[in-house]
Structure 1
Amino acid sequence: MTDICDLIDKDGGTQKSAIFHDQGIYDLEMERIFARSWLFLTHEGQIPNIGDYVRTMMGEDEVIVVRQRDGSVKAFLNACRHRGAQVCAAEAGNANIFVCPYHGWGYGIDGSLRAVPLEKELYKGRLDKSTHGLRVVPLVESYHGFVYGCFDSTAPSLKEYLGEMGWYLDVWMDAAGGAELIGPPSRSILNCNWKVPSENFVGDTYHVGWTHGAALKALGAKPHRLGNRSLPDGDTGLQITTRHGHGLCVGFDGGPGMLGAVAPDILAWQAQNRERIERKLGSLRTRFYGCHINSTIFPNNSFLWGTNTFKLWQPRGPGSIEVLTWTIVEKEMPEDMKSRIATSMNRLFGSAGMLEADDSDNMESITQLSRGFVTRQGRVISQMSKGDDRQVPGMPGVVGDCAMGETAYRGFYRFYREMLLAGSWDEIRAGDSVWSDELLSLTLQSQSVERRK
C-alpha cells in the first residue's frame, strides 16, 4: 500500500521519484485530485453561440462543454447512457443534438435524452428517458471568461478554489479589459508525467538560462541575465504560493521580451493601459502588469503571461500527457497585434517551439528515468529558498524573495499531499486556516538553526 506521507516530505521539501511513474499513485490522483479539483475546460470566447461546443478531458474522463439556450455553459460526460459509446467525436463545433453512432440515441444540448430508435416497439413504455440523460458535470463556473468544471458537488466555488490566486489572475484576466484565448489549441503528446510540467510552470525560473541558453542566444537574449552563470543585478522578482497549490513566479519588467518584433508594440500597449489599471487595482498590483509570470493553477493548468502561452497538461497514464496550447491575448488589442503575438508564441511554445523542445526533453527524462526500480526509491529536492519565505503586507500568499526559488514547488506538493490524504473537501477545508502558518514555520525553524550556528 502506498505511504502518501513518505511520498511527500512536506517539511523537508523533498518528493519521492515514484510519484512520476507509478500506476497506483496515478490511480489515486485520478480519484482524489482530478475528480475533486476545478479543471480548465475552455474559454467562453471559444463557444460564443447557442449550441457551440468543445470536447475536452477532465482527468481521463472525456466531456462535452456546451453553450446553453439561456447563455449558461454546461458540461457532460461524452458517453451514451445506453452502452457507453462516444456521442461526440468532433473536437469542436455547433450542434442541436448529439447522436450516438452505435445505436442512435440522441441527446439535446442540455444533455437530456430526446430520441431512442424504435422506443415504442422495443421498450414498450418502460424506458424513462428523463432519467437517462448524459451525466452532467455538477459544477461549471467561469472566472473572467475562463471556464472550469468540477466533478465534486461538495467542492468550494471556483472563486473560493482560486482564492488568493485570483488577486494575481485579475491583473491580466480582467484589469485591462479582459483576456481571451486564440484557438483551437495545438496538440502534442509528451512521454512525461503530468506533474512535471505543472511543477515547472508553477515555480521554475532556475532552468531558464541553462536549459534555454542556446535558444535564448539565437533569439538575441543574454542567458547570463536569466541565471545561466550569475543572478541578474537588482530585483529579480518574486515567487508566490497560495492556498490549494496554485503558484506563480514573477520576473519584474521581463514582459514580452522574447516575443521578437511584436514586443515593442506590446510594451507601448501596456504603457497606455497602466494608468487605468492602477485606478482599478492600485499601485501594488499594477507592478505585476507588464511582468513575465509563469504559473500553474492546480493541478494541471499553466500559463506564461509575457510570452502569452496558456497550457493544459492532460494526463494519459502515469507516463504520458497530451499538451494543449493556446495563445493568450488582451481582448482589446488590435487584431493584427493578436495575430503577431500568436505567431511569436508558437515559435517559442507551440508544439515545435524553440523553448518547448528544450523543456520537453527534460520533462520526458525525469519521467522515464523514474521507471527504474532503484531510481523510484530515491527523492528529488525542492529546498531552494526554504527558510526565506515570508508574508508581504497587501500581497496574498506566501512569498519567496527571489524569482529563482522553489517556494511555489513546496506549496504545490504540500497541497498535492493534502488532497491525496483527505477523504473529503471538509477535511481539506480544515486546513485553510493553518496552511500558510505551516509553511512560514519552516522559515522560523531555519532562522533558529542559523542563530545556533
Structure 2
Amino acid sequence: MQTLAPLRPVPAAEVDPTDVGQLVREDRVHARVYTDPAIFDMEMERIFERAWIFMAHESQIPNAGDFLTSRIGRHPVIVVRDGKRQVHVLYNRCPHRGAILCREAEGNVHHFACPYHGWSFRTNGDITGIPFRSAYPESFLKDENLSMAHVARVENYRGFIFASVAEQGPSLVEFIGPLKDGLDNLLDRSPTGEIDVSAGVHQYAYKGNWKMQMENGLDEYHPPFSHASTVKPDGQQVQRSYGAKGGFKVLTGSDPNQENARSHYDHGEVHGARHGQAYLTIPDATRRSELDDPEYRRLLVERHGQEKALALIESSNMSNAVFYPSVIMRVTGNMHIRVVRPISVGLTEVLVWPIQIKGVADGINQGIVRYANVHVSVSSFVQTDDLEIFERVYEGLQAGKPDWVMLARGMGQDWDGPYPDEKVGLATWETGMRAQFRYWKEQMTEDRR
C-alpha cells in the first residue's frame, strides 16, 4: 500500500465548526467527521466512553491468571480472570506514577508488577506489594486508591465480554438490540452451545478513520468493484467459506450498469437499529455452507431434535453483525470477530480472531480458519482490497471540495423492522450507515451537563 504524506484536516467550508450536529444530514455527512482531529477527540469521549465496547470472548482467558490487553477508546485496559475465576476489566495503569503495567498482548500471570518502582497487584487489581513501604505514612498505605482501578461496568453475554467506562447507561442487551439474536443463533448452532476463539489473531493497521471499517461491514454495494480481481465473468466470487461448492454469487447479471441491473446481494437485507447497531443478512444459503455437513447436522439434531435443528439452520441468516462502535462479528459462514481500535483520526488498528465451533469435526474448524485467511487476513484476497480503499478514501478526503460524503442509497425506500427505531433495506442500501450516524449525532451533540 502507498505510504501517505502527513495529512491536514479538511477545512470547515460552509459548516459551522462549533456545531457538530450540522456535520450530519439525513442523506450525507461532512468530510470533517473522518479527518478532523478535534472531532476524533470528541468521539473518544462521547462515543467510546459511553458505549459498550467488546473486550474478549471468555475462551481467550479460560484459566486463572489468563489476561488480554485491550483499549476502550484511548483507555488502555487489561481483561483478566482472577484466582476465583472472576473476570475483571482493569485500567492498565499503575496508581503510583502512572506507568503502563502490562505491554504483552496476552498471557498468564500470578500478579501484575510495575516496571518503574516495583509496585505489584493481584489479578483482581488489589495492591499486594509496595517496595520499601516504611517510608510511607500509615494513613497513606490505607488509601483505597492504591489498587488498580476497575472499569465501571462489565457484562458477559453467553461468553462475550463487553465493558463500558460510563457509570450509567443501557444494559448490554438493551444496547446491542437485534444483534443478540445473531449471538444466540451462533451459539445454538454449536453442538455444545459453545464456541472457541483461541486459534490465533490477525493484526494490522490502515491509514484511515475507524468509521470506514465499521461502515464497510455493512456495505454490500462495493464487492463487485473493490474486489473485482476476485470476481469471475459469470459473477461468481472466489470460494470464501468452508463447504461451499463454488464461489459466492455477487452479480445477477453481467453488466451492473444496465438500467434494470440488480446486485445479487439485494436478495439479502441490511438492518439498522438504535445505538448504531446494524447487521446484514445472507443473500442465499451458500453463505452457510458449513451447516450442510452431514455430521454437523446430526449433532445439531442430537442436541435440539429434528424440528428445532432444521428451524435453527433455516434461521441462520445473519451475516455481519456490526456492534457499534467497536467490533464486527461474522456469525454465519466464515465466522470471525473483527475488533476495530481507533489510534488517531487517520490511523486504525484491526484485530481478527476466527470463531471455531466446539463439538464439531476438526475439519470444519480447520476450514473456518483457512477461509478466515482467505477473507480477512492481511494477505487475503478480500480484506487487502478494503484496506487499500480505506486509505484512498482518507487521502481523497483531504481535497477541500466537495464537502460531503453521500449516504443516500435507498433513502426513503427502507421500511420498519421489529426492533425499536429499526429500519430495514436491501443489502446494498446505506440504511445501516445512516443508523450509525443517527447514534453518532445523538451522542456527539447531547448536553449532559
Q: Give the TM-score category using the shorter length.
A: 0.7 to 0.9
Instruction: Specify the code of the residue in structure 1 equivalent to 2:376.
Output: F
Corresponding position: 1:215 with 2:240: no
In the alignment, which of 329, 337, 341 is matched to residue 368 of structure 2? 341
Whether the aligned pair in 1 keeps the contact of 2:28 and 2:407 (CA below 8 Å) is: yes
Q: Any conservation in 1 of the 2:296–2:361 contact (CA below 8 Å)?
A: no
Contact 2:82 2:123 (C-alpha < 8 Å) held by counterparts: yes
Q: Paired residue for 1:307, among 309, 312, 334? A: 334
Distance, in Å, in 1 between the alignment partners of 2:309 and 2:441 is 34
Q: Where does residue 268 of structure 2 map in the other structure?
A: 237
**1:286 Cα deviation after fit:** 5.2
Q: Select the residue among 44, 47, 62 that pairs with 2:58.
A: 44
Q: Does 1:388 align with 2:419?
A: no
Per the alignment, residue 187 of structure 1 pairs with: 203
Q: Which moved more, 1:208-217 or 1:87-96?
A: 208-217
More displaced 10-residue stretch of structure 1: 154-163 or 96-105: 154-163
CA–CA distance in 2 between the matches of 1:88 and 1:347? 32
Note the alpha carbon deviations across 1:353-398, whole angstroms, 9 max, x for none: 11011111111111222234x14x6111111111122235x67763
* Distance (whole Å) between structure 2 residues aligned to residue 187 and residue 99 of structure 1: 26
1:408 partner SS: helix
Deviations 1:114-165 (A, max 9, x none): 1111011355663335321111111111112111110001022211211233
Which amino acid counterpart does residue 42 of structure 1 have in structure 2? Answer: A
Q: 1:102 to 1:395 in 2, by over 3 A?
A: closer
- The residue type paired with residue 362 of structure 1 is I
Quick check: 1:2 aligned with 2:28? no
Distance 1:235 1:418, change over 3 A: closer
Question: Shift of residue 331 of structure 1?
Answer: 2.3
Shift of 1:325: 0.5
Q: Output one character per residue of 1:206-256: Cα deviation in whole Å (capped at 9) or x when no partner.
A: 111221121233726354249972325797011111211110111232544
Contact in 1 for aligned 2:173/2:180 (Cα 8 Å): yes
Partner of 1:434: none
CA distance in 2, matches of 1:311, 1:142: 18
TM-score (ref. length: structure 2)? 0.84
Match of 1:18 in 2: 32
Letter in 1 for 2:35: H
Task: Name 1:363's counterpart in structure 2.
Answer: 390
Counterpart residue number, 1:316: 343
Q: Which residue of 2 aligns with 1:247?
A: 278
The equivalent residue for 2:13 is none
| 205-214 or 247-256, which deviates more | 247-256
Residue 417 of structure 2 corresponds to residue 417 of structure 1: no
CA distance in 2, matches of 1:185, 1:109: 24
Aligned mates of 2:138, 2:95 — CA distance in 1? 18
Cα distance per residue 1:59-92 (max 9 Å; x no partner): 1211111112333211111111111111112111
Secondary structure of the equivalent of 2:141? coil
**Given that residues 194 and 300 in structure 1 are in contact (C-alpha distance below 8 angstroms), is that contact kept between their aligned partners in structure 2?**
no
Any residues of structure 2 matched to 1:117-196 within 5 Å, and which?
117-123=131-137, 126-176=140-190, 177-196=193-212
Aligned-partner SS, 2:85: coil
* Superposed CA RMSD: 2.7
Change (3 A) 1:63 1:281: farther
- Taking structure 1 as reference, are residues 232 and 274 closer, same or farther at Cα in structure 2, changes over 3 Å only? farther
Change (3 A) 1:228 1:238: farther
Inter-partner Cα distance in structure 2 for 1:133 and 1:63: 14
Question: Is the counterpart of residue 295 in structure 1 residue 321 in structure 2?
Answer: yes
Once the two structures are overlaid, the 10-residue window that deviates more, 329-338 or 295-304, is 329-338
**DSSP 3-state at the match of 1:333:** coil
Structure with the bigger percentage of helix: 1
What is the percent sequence identity of the aligned residues? 26
* Partner AA of 1:414 in structure 2: R
